[in-house]
């Protein structure tokens, strides 16, 4: 039965079957890697918590006073309470929303800029390429912390400013990679074939070449996601982070005044929450690279 079905799909869509093989192969490789599977599950549960807190289904009452100021962790409050007697556990859960949204939007923004500029530079070459290379060389010569400060200073404080600042400062490495790959691909036969059947530049670039460099974008996405989550802490420390709602960055930053009084649980809770998701994304990124990068095959 299974065989018969496979044969019919083969007959109906022979091409699609073939073009999927890299992804199917990658999927199978990742599913065999136990640590990668655990990482995916962790990522999914963090995303679920983030979604649930967005709709106040979880930790909706994080701002409520549940005990005295700075009570140590107990069976009732696993991570104790903060200065205002709020549950650190609830704050950590609520902070997941900020962290995951920063990871997602930063990775999307930097991915978009990187792919667009990199693809255009690599595909058109010549003067266009020179200008884009000049632009990103210039951009990457400025330390990103300075750019971050300048951009948040201009955009004001808030979540949107954080997304944009982190996104605008993290696209160069992807842009470089995409440019190089597109350059390698643009003179391949399949692109010439697309030209021969009358495909325009847009179609050649986005329909034909881009799927062949998509693995770089995906690997980079998981990398940028976790870098952004970590960067939020530095922004919070500089007073440029999220205001008026709990984030792991502000919780870690609060610890600079709390530790001397022996209050370690807020630092511990936020660091632990961040450690688990960043570690998972790192492991997942490595697994994705091993599974998707054709150059690494057989190593």
Residues making contact with other proteins (CB under 8 A): 134-135, 137-139, 141-143, 145-147, 149-151, 153-154, 226, 230, 233-234, 237-239, 248-249, 252-253, 255-256, 259-260, 264, 267, 270-271, 274-275, 278-279, 282-283, 286, 299
Full DSSP string of 170-190:
S-HHHHHHHHHHHHHHTTSHH
Q: Which is nearer to other proteins, 212 or 280 (CB)?
A: 280
Q: What is the largest CA-CA distance in the chain?
A: 74
Nearer to other proteins, 212 or 226 (CB): 226
Closer by beta carbon to other proteins, 212 or else 225: 225
Report how far residue 56's alpha carbon sits from residue 127's, in angstroms, rounded to the nearest whole number. 52
> Minimum distance between the CB of residue 271 and other proteins, rounded to whole angstroms?
5
Q: Cβ of residue 231: shortest distance to other proteins, in angstroms?
A: 9
CA separation for the pair 237, 149 (Å, rounded): 12
The pair of structure tokens assigned to 198 is 């009358």
Q: Are 121 and 209 in contact (CB under 8 A)?
A: no
CB of 285 to other proteins, least distance (A): 9
Give the nearer residue to other proteins in terms of CB position, either 195 or 271: 271
- Cα 182 to Cα 134: distance, rounded to the nearest angstrom: 18
Task: Quote the least distance from Cβ 166 to other proteins, whole Å.
Answer: 14
Nearer to other proteins, 50 or 274 (CB): 274
Q: Are 39 and 290 in contact (CB under 8 A)?
A: no
Helix (H, G, I), strand (E, B) or coil at 51: helix
């Amino acid at each position: 039965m299974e065989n018969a079905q496979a044969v019919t799909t083969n007959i109906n869509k022979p091409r699609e079957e073939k073009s999927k093989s890299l992804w199917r192969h990658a999927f199978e490789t990742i599913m065999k890697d136990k640590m990668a599977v655990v990482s995916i599950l962790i990522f999914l549960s963090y995303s679920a918590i983030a979604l649930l807190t967005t709709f106040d289904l979880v930790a909706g009452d994080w701002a409520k006073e549940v005990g005295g100021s700075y009570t140590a962790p107990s069976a009732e409050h696993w991570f104790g309470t903060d200065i205002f007697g709020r549950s650190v556990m609830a704050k950590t859960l609520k902070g997941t929303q900020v962290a995951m949204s920063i990871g997602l939007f930063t990775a999307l923004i930097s991915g978009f800029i990187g792919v667009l500029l990199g693809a255009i530079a690599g595909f058109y070459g010549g003067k266009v390429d020179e200008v884009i290379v000049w632009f990103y060389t210039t951009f990457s010569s400025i330390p990103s912390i300075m750019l971050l400060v300048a951009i948040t200073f201009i955009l004001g404080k808030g979540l949107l400013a954080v997304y944009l600042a982190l996104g605008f400062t993290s696209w160069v490495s992807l842009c470089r990679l995409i440019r190089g790959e597109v350059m390698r691909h643009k003179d391949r036969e399949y692109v010439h074939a697309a030209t021969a059947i009358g495909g325009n530049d847009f179609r050649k670039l986005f329909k034909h070449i881009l799927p062949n460099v998509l693995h770089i974008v995906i690997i980079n996405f998981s990398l940028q996601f976790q870098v952004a989550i970590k960067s939020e802490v530095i922004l919070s420390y500089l007073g440029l982070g999220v205001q008026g709602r709990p984030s792991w960055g502000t919780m870690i930053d609060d610890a600079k005044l709390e530790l001397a009084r022996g209050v370690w649980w807020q630092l511990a809770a936020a660091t632990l929450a961040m450690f688990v998701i960043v570690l998972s994304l790192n492991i997942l990124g490595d697994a994705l690279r091993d599974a998707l990068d054709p150059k690494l095959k057989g190593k």
